[in-house]
Structure 1
Amino acid sequence: MAIDWWTLALQTINFLVVVWLLSKFLYRPIRRVIEEREAADQKAAEAAQEKTEAADAAREEFEAKRAELSQTLREEEAKLQTQMENEREDVLEKARKEADKLLSDARAQIETERHKTFETLRDQIADLAQDLAFKALAEGGNLEEPELLARVSDYLDGLSEADMADLRADFAGASAELKIVTATPLSTTEQSRWRNFVSEHFGDGKISFETDPDIIGGAELRFAHSVLSFSVADRLRRAAAELKM
């Protein structure tokens, strides 16, 4: 096979021209565009890095300021709490002092009123005691012996037959005894009148005489199971009860 060197040379020349043309008008511009794009990307990456670093710095500054603010708030809260506790203690102390003063004044007032009341009550009690004594005596508590017998007789006459029967039964027992109690000893004559009085109203039975200064005056008829009181002491008690009503 024969080789056409001229044709080969021309094709070689054409290839080299095409390569030069592609290098000049296509590869170099593309390379330049790629380099510019890489430079732009690098610049963008550097800008993004700077922004990231700035954001991190801002975040760290924010965190630091927030921590500082939290610390400040805690300190202010503790300070406010301490101030409130101090004010609370001051208020409580002032209240305690005022309460102590009021209590002291109240005690002094009560003591003053107690003395006044005591003086008033003492006078009232003296007057009441006098009134009771006069009332009891006015009702016959300090009667002479004949008058006392008459009062006892009137009382017995006012009793029902059933009540009188109970008293007679109480006096008539074998071991029964009627005690006639007076504030002062009775004379023989007075005892004789009492015996006659008892025999007239209750029949015959055992009678004894006793003295009891506590009854003040009058007499008490003490049966085995009941007592008939005509004493001054009993009248005083009844008069006191009436005055309380």
Structure 2
Amino acid sequence: MCLALSHQSVRAEPGEPSPYRLSPGDRVAITLPLHPELNATGPIGPDGRFSLPMAGQVELGGLTVDEAQGAISAALHEARLVANARPSLAVEKFGGTVFVGGEVRNPGQVELTGPLNPLQAIISAGGLLGTARSKRIAVIRPTVSGPGNVYTMNVRSFVKTGDPQGNIVLHAGDIVFVPKSGIAEVNLWLDQHINGIIPDALHFNVNLGDGNNQTSAIVTP
């Protein structure tokens, strides 16, 4: 299977970073003030599902908090437990990780202990090396079942001006790559660390283009 990334010059709306999406391993607390007997606390399972008392399994992995609350309400309604539940969901512990590679002091996995943006992940990995291309950070969001995205970020601009386009909320499984020199470096790193060491891995062909752009990914069997 090959994952081809085709360049599109689409900008995110300023001030609207992507919300955090729940992932397997996250520990969540679900509260129903009018129905405390249905309150539940626990981890989201490896399959992305959460077990609700008397309502069974509900798919929460990959959903935002608002979407998850809607899914829980629908599950309770379908189970004929509560007609119009208004549950609240809070993440007690984040269970996912992201990978930070390239020109950072301590490349490797960084735990998601809360909402994390690329700059925070880079700081957790020891910060940038002097050889880093800080104007060209790539956030790679792999997917095997549909369109995915590659985002670029200007760390220097984000630090100086608080550019909202740099405030990307990282998802579990994201790859933050700090290149030394441009697209050739990104492709080389992906080939060495992803495609070259994982059998039958997805193969990335990344075109970052110019500016803070979003790149769409299409999976081809």
Q: TM-score range by the shorter chain?
A: under 0.3
Report the structure number with the largest CA radius of gyration: 1
Higher helix share: 1
**TM-score normalised by the chain length of structure 2:** 0.19
- Using CA pairs under 8 Å that are at least 6 residues apart, name the structure with larger relative contact order, 1 or 2: 2
Higher strand share: 2
